[in-house]
Chain A
Amino acid sequence: MFTKKIHWLITILVVLTMILTACKGAAPEEPVAEEPPAEVEVVEEPPTEEEVVEEPPAETRGVLRYNTGIVYGGLENLNPVDPNRFWPPISLLFDRLATPADDEMRPTPSLAKSWESNATGEVWTFTLRDDVYFHDGTQLTSADVAYSVDHWLNAEASVIAGSFGVVESVDTPDDFTVVFNLTQPVVDFPLIVMDYRARVLKKGSFPDIMETGMGSGPFKLETLDVGGVTVLVANDDYWDGPPGVAVIEVFMIADNEAAIQATRAGQIDFSIDLIADHIPMFDDADDFVIDIIPTGNWSGFVMRTDIPPFDNLDLRQAMHLVVDRQEMLDLALAGLGEVSCDLGITPGDPYLIPECLYEQDFEAAAAKLADAGYADGFEIDLYTADVCSDWTALTEIFQQQAANAGIEVNIVNVSSDGFWAEAWMIQPFVMTCWNERTTDQFLNEIYRSGGSWNESFWNVPEFDALLDAARAEMDFEKRKEHYQAAQTMLHMDGGTIIPYYSGMVRAAKTCLGELPQIGLFFADWNHITKPADCE
């Protein structure tokens, strides 16, 4: 009996082993099997493009190719407010009511041609253009905007539900007028409307748009291929005139080095993911131009202010005091950027505090450590991953700077695809990185109590009151005072150490029409041109 059982057991184990081995063999085949269709699509594209190029007699526009990293592990979709939004095509497919001016973060008309508020700033009336059509030919009306606002507020996991929380209701008195009734006065409401994710959708188009990308933008979706090449063709009926290129191909290249090499080899037209050290690679490349563009993008260190050990204010202040911001900027980015005072507000923003209120001071840091009860030194794990390009340098520099004040930092690396889910907003001390934001957006989105992305768990009623007071204040100088008081609180006591704003290093082919000197995050893509003979 026993022998029989053992034989059965062995048989089961052998079968299990075979299954395991079979699984091991099958796993790599799947992506390989999936690849060819993607390539076939790529291969098939040129004829389509040629058709586009050849059919209209005056067509002289080329195909613009650029790259983006795989940020959300292949979960990218075309819902503009989704946490896994596939940003590059979304910015080409959909429009906003207002868009920032080229050189500063000032709202300028886009789908809305004008706006005005009542005397208190509680009711905002936007007038829409009457010449805007979606990609399926239907005209944009106020009903579409009302539908979109509902989507921004109520879509599952909407990343802008918080900032649009001030919208109580939306009225549509006629086809081209939208009235926002707010819960409180917000003097800078157009800045909120300008949010890069607040894209206008056609009424009833969700959830189909997650795959169709049907919007009113300057480009129409031809092929969506997350992980491969996504192809968009010019929307020649665009309200702001036909785009300057016939086709845009968005390449998803996971490895940044490969992307830089592809740029250098001319396979893609420009890359915005260069670092200062890449610039010499383009020294002898006359067909490329390098631009260094100031941005408000930033990386930083986040301390959770709600749990030990960083619920201790003295300890947080000690951590701030050990940082030499200029040294971090010089080492990590070769100086290409601008020192920040723990704020991620686009430099040049009228509300931004002008300079930092303290410098690196090891003695003061040691005194604060002693006050916090760590006179004999303090040890902390800093969680990081291969997510943002400057994190490795920043963590190593911080480790050295902090050691001078008796703070021992252990760098803990976690897998890049699990970082946001497993470390960020969970561990007490983690790395972070964000794109630039306006003052109101930065302070409300990342620091207002209860916000879904309040990564430092900064829940301070006085701070929230300052934000409310600023939003309601009609006088610019007084409003600025409130905003700057809020920024000072973060700079002195907050849980985020933001050493600098990163400069963007961009390499682009010289035969491209002049690219705007702003982060392409906010570019008007229809104005970028590329002649057909620019290869």
Chain B
Amino acid sequence: MTLVAQSVEQPPRTKRRSPLAETWDNLRKSWAGMVGLTLIVLHILIATTSPVWIPRDPLEMNAKIRTQAPSAEHLMGTDKLGRDVFSRSMVGGRVTMVVTLIAISIAVVWGGLLGIVLGLVNGRADELIMRFVDALLSIPWLLIILLIVSVLGTKMWVQALTFGFTYGILTVRVARAATLDFVTSEFVLAARARGERKRTIVIKELIPNVRDVLLVDGAMNWSWMLLGFTSLSFLGFGVTPPTPDWGFMIAKNREILGVQPWAVFGPVVMLGTLIIGINLFADAFAKALGLDRSQGAPV
């Protein structure tokens, strides 16, 4: 009892800090998180500025320098059409990152909102929609995406909406599970007793509490989505030529892997470092928010 009393009395003694600053402080303590964040920032910098500083035009073909090994002129060598692999690897993530960032925002918003609402209403509608969500989850995601893209085409907005929809299905479950932890809590019960409308409870009580879970889940899903979108490009249904793209580069340079491995390694290294960065960051971010993913938190 004494201990409890002490901890209750503790807050007034420390200077009250914003949750953001507190999270940042926690995050800074994790070297893995900082490595992850650095990798992400580096990738965003490369994606936004590379067209200005890359050494070669990534689209310029030259039959005289096909499949060359790395050299001072071509840091990662050249591909089958004599294009500079380094320049292409630097710009090859631009479309992927834009599409997946838009898509993950869509997924978090619709999946998160639906999950929270379902968690709150928790009735027949919840039961029905969740079984439908289960049914959708039982279909391989790549199949759903290929189906939609083959019907509606490979325009960027189609891909962003498709990925946003598909990955949002996963978010619905996460958001609902996280919400269920709060719907029986005292502050929600109090809000209900006050006669607050459901919309107000969602906006004022639930979203602020579930937000952290959704952010971490979104970060994790972003890395999955990057892999997903690259897979789509690998199969030829993502980014279309002439735009350089990691997935397409890996697919098309695969046949010269034995001769000019850097034509494949370049995009692989870029994609790999981004995904590792996101994962490291998401893990540290979750811990900084007090949601330890390894401890079975609802992530």
Which of A's residues lie within 8 Å of B, judged by CB? 6, 9-10, 13-14, 16-17, 20-21, 24, 256-257, 260-261, 264, 275, 277-278, 280-281, 327, 330-332, 334-335, 385-386, 389, 392-393, 395-397, 399-400, 410-415
Least Cβ–Cβ distance between B223 and chain A, in angstroms: 24
A281-B258, A331-B63, A415-B150 known; A13 vs B240 contact (CB < 8 Å)? no
Q: Considering the chains assembled together, what is the distance between the CA atoms of A10 and B255 in angstroms?
A: 50
The 10 closest A-B pairs by CB, nearest first: A330-B63, A413-B236, A21-B138, A17-B135, A277-B256, A13-B131, A331-B63, A281-B258, A396-B241, A20-B138
A20-B138, A277-B80, A413-B237 known; A10 vs B127 contact (CB < 8 Å)? yes
Which B-chain residue is minimally distant from A3 (CB atoms)? B124
- Binary A-proximity of B79-103 (CB < 8 A = 1, otherwise 0): 0111000000000000000000000
In the complex, the answer to whether B124 meets A278 with C-beta atoms within 8 Å is no
Residue of A6, A257, A261, A413 contacting most chain B CB atoms (<10 Å): A413
Contacts of A395 in B (CB 8 A): 241
Which A-chain residue is minimally distant from B140 (CB atoms)? A24
- Binary A-proximity of B117-147 (CB < 8 A = 1, otherwise 0): 0000000100110011011001110000000
- Binary A-proximity of B134-173 (CB < 8 A = 1, otherwise 0): 1100111000000000100010000000000000000000
Least Cβ–Cβ distance between A15 and chain B, in angstroms: 10
In the complex, the answer to whether B138 meets A17 with C-beta atoms within 8 Å is yes
A277-B256, A281-B259 known; A400 vs B240 contact (CB < 8 Å)? no
Q: Considering the chains assembled together, what is the distance between the CA atoms of A413 and B134 in angstroms?
A: 32
- 16 of the cross-chain contacts (CB-CB < 8 Å) are A6-B124, A9-B128, A10-B127, A17-B131, A17-B138, A20-B135, A24-B139, A257-B257, A261-B258, A277-B66, A278-B258, A281-B258, A332-B81, A334-B66, A335-B63, A386-B236
Contacts of B258 in A (CB 8 A): 260-261, 264, 278, 281
Q: Considering the chains assembled together, what is the distance between the CA atoms of A335 and B240 in angstroms?
A: 26
A6-B124, A277-B259 known; A17 vs B241 contact (CB < 8 Å)? no
Least Cβ–Cβ distance between B29 and chain A, in angstroms: 43
B59 CB–A CB distance under 8 Å: yes
Least Cβ–Cβ distance between A104 and chain B, in angstroms: 30
Q: Considering the chains assembled together, what is the distance between the CA atoms of A280 and B138 in angstroms?
A: 46
- Seed contacts A13-B131, A278-B259; 7 additional CB < 8 Å A-B pairs: A10-B127, A21-B138, A278-B258, A331-B82, A386-B236, A396-B242, A414-B150
Contacts of A264 in B (CB 8 A): 258
In the complex, the answer to whether A396 meets B81 with C-beta atoms within 8 Å is yes
In the complex, the answer to whether B61 meets A400 with C-beta atoms within 8 Å is yes
B254 CB–A CB distance under 8 Å: yes
Q: Considering the chains assembled together, what is the distance between the CA atoms of A392 and B253 in angstroms?
A: 11
A24-B139, A24-B140 known; A410 vs B61 contact (CB < 8 Å)? no
B67 CB–A CB distance under 8 Å: yes
Contacts of B56 in A (CB 8 A): none
B287 CB–A CB distance under 8 Å: no
Contacts of A386 in B (CB 8 A): 236
Which B-chain residue is minimally distant from A410 (CB atoms)? B240
In the complex, the answer to whether B135 meets A400 with C-beta atoms within 8 Å is no
Contacts of B241 in A (CB 8 A): 392, 395-396, 399, 411
In the complex, the answer to whether B135 meets A280 with C-beta atoms within 8 Å is no
B28 CB–A CB distance under 8 Å: no
Which B-chain residue is minimally distant from A282 (CB atoms)? B258
Which B-chain residue is minimally distant from A392 (CB atoms)? B252
Q: Considering the chains assembled together, what is the distance between the CA atoms of A396 and B83 in angstroms?
A: 12
Contacts of B81 in A (CB 8 A): 331-332, 393, 396-397
Q: Considering the chains assembled together, what is the distance between the CA atoms of A522 and B273 in angstroms?
A: 50
In the complex, the answer to whether B131 meets A14 with C-beta atoms within 8 Å is yes
Q: Considering the chains assembled together, what is the distance between the CA atoms of A389 and B252 in angstroms?
A: 10
The one of A13, A281, A392 that contacts B132, using a Cβ cutoff of 8 Å: A13
Contacts of A20 in B (CB 8 A): 135, 138-139
In the complex, the answer to whether A393 meets B63 with C-beta atoms within 8 Å is no
In the complex, the answer to whether A399 meets B242 with C-beta atoms within 8 Å is yes
Contacts of A16 in B (CB 8 A): 135
Contacts of B237 in A (CB 8 A): 413
Q: Considering the chains assembled together, what is the distance between the CA atoms of A16 and B4 in angstroms?
A: 52
The one of B124, B240, B255, B260 that contacts A275, using a Cβ cutoff of 8 Å: B255
Q: Considering the chains assembled together, what is the distance between the CA atoms of A366 and B214 in angstroms?
A: 55
- Binary A-proximity of B236-271 (CB < 8 A = 1, otherwise 0): 110011100000000010111111100000000000
Q: Considering the chains assembled together, what is the distance between the CA atoms of A153 and B59 in angstroms?
A: 50
In the complex, the answer to whether A397 meets B61 with C-beta atoms within 8 Å is yes
Q: Considering the chains assembled together, what is the distance between the CA atoms of A431 and B260 in angstroms?
A: 27
Least Cβ–Cβ distance between B191 and chain A, in angstroms: 28
Least Cβ–Cβ distance between B248 and chain A, in angstroms: 9
A277-B256, A281-B259 known; A411 vs B66 contact (CB < 8 Å)? no
Contacts of B67 in A (CB 8 A): 277
Contacts of A24 in B (CB 8 A): 138-140
Q: Considering the chains assembled together, what is the distance between the CA atoms of A14 and B138 in angstroms?
A: 12
In the complex, the answer to whether B80 meets A393 with C-beta atoms within 8 Å is yes
Q: Considering the chains assembled together, what is the distance between the CA atoms of A278 and B254 in angstroms?
A: 11
Contacts of B82 in A (CB 8 A): 331
Which A-chain residue is minimally distant from B238 (CB atoms)? A413
Residue of B59, B61, B140, B150 contacting most chain A CB atoms (<10 Å): B61
Least Cβ–Cβ distance between A336 and chain B, in angstroms: 11
Least Cβ–Cβ distance between A276 and chain B, in angstroms: 8
Contacts of B66 in A (CB 8 A): 277, 331, 334
Contacts of B154 in A (CB 8 A): 412-413
Q: Considering the chains assembled together, what is the distance between the CA atoms of A386 and B124 in angstroms?
A: 47
A24-B139, A277-B256, A393-B81 known; A400 vs B59 contact (CB < 8 Å)? yes
Residue of A20, A261, A397, A414 contacting most chain B CB atoms (<10 Å): A20
Q: Considering the chains assembled together, what is the distance between the CA atoms of A6 and B129 in angstroms?
A: 13
Least Cβ–Cβ distance between B34 and chain A, in angstroms: 39
Contacts of B252 in A (CB 8 A): 392
Which B-chain residue is minimally distant from A390 (CB atoms)? B80
Least Cβ–Cβ distance between B226 and chain A, in angstroms: 20
Contacts of A415 in B (CB 8 A): 150
In the complex, the answer to whether A256 meets B255 with C-beta atoms within 8 Å is yes
Least Cβ–Cβ distance between A299 and chain B, in angstroms: 15
Contacts of B254 in A (CB 8 A): 257
The one of A17, A331, A411, A414 that contacts B61, using a Cβ cutoff of 8 Å: A331
The one of A13, A260, A280, A392 that contacts B128, using a Cβ cutoff of 8 Å: A13
Least Cβ–Cβ distance between A457 and chain B, in angstroms: 25
Contacts of A335 in B (CB 8 A): 63
Q: Considering the chains assembled together, what is the distance between the CA atoms of A6 and B222 in angstroms?
A: 37
The one of A9, A10, A13, A327 that contacts B135, using a Cβ cutoff of 8 Å: A13
Q: Considering the chains assembled together, what is the distance between the CA atoms of A277 and B252 in angstroms?
A: 13
Least Cβ–Cβ distance between A267 and chain B, in angstroms: 16
Residue of B150, B240, B241, B252 contacting most chain A CB atoms (<10 Å): B241
Q: Considering the chains assembled together, what is the distance between the CA atoms of A395 and B248 in angstroms?
A: 14
Contacts of A330 in B (CB 8 A): 63
Q: Considering the chains assembled together, what is the distance between the CA atoms of A413 and B240 in angstroms?
A: 8
Contacts of B256 in A (CB 8 A): 277-278
Q: Considering the chains assembled together, what is the distance between the CA atoms of A389 and B256 in angstroms?
A: 12
In the complex, the answer to whether A10 meets B61 with C-beta atoms within 8 Å is no
